[in-house]
Amino acid sequence: MLTVNEATYLGDLRFELVFSNGRRGNLSVRPLLGYAQGLFSGLADEAFASQFKLAHGSLSWPGELDVAPEYLYFLAFADDPAEQQRFQSWGYLTTEMRLS
């Protein structure tokens, strides 16, 4: 099971994360802002975004808002050709979107 072991807020809605598989990556949470009918819209507020904590192996914010660690991994490594098959198996890529 993939988890987030360390997290640092870098500002501008960006995080540096260390995952349980040892990979370290940077990601923006901006793609979450319009997701799930605005559920994550609070993350647009820099002060709110910086109030994260690690809980249950992932990032969490006030109001029990959290993101699957696998999706955070996808955001961090979406351009890594070596990860495309994994992302497709997780349902984050379709065959048409797969990077070559």
Residue with tokens 């997780």: 90
| Region 58-69 average pLDDT | 94
Buried b (16+ CB within 10 A) or exposed e, 53-89: eeeebbbbbeeeebbebbbbbbbbbbeeeebbebbee
Q: What's the pLDDT tens digit per position in 71-86?
A: 999 999 999 999 999 9
Residues 4-16 have a mean pLDDT of 97
The pLDDT assigned to 34 comes to 80
* Measured distance CA(75)–CA(56) in Å, rounded: 19
Mean pLDDT, range 93-100, rounded to an integer: 48
More confident residue, 93 or 64: 64
CA 9/CA 96 separation, integer angstroms: 33
Encoded tokens for 85: 């098959």
The pLDDT confidence band at residue 99, using thresholds 50, 70 and 90, is very low
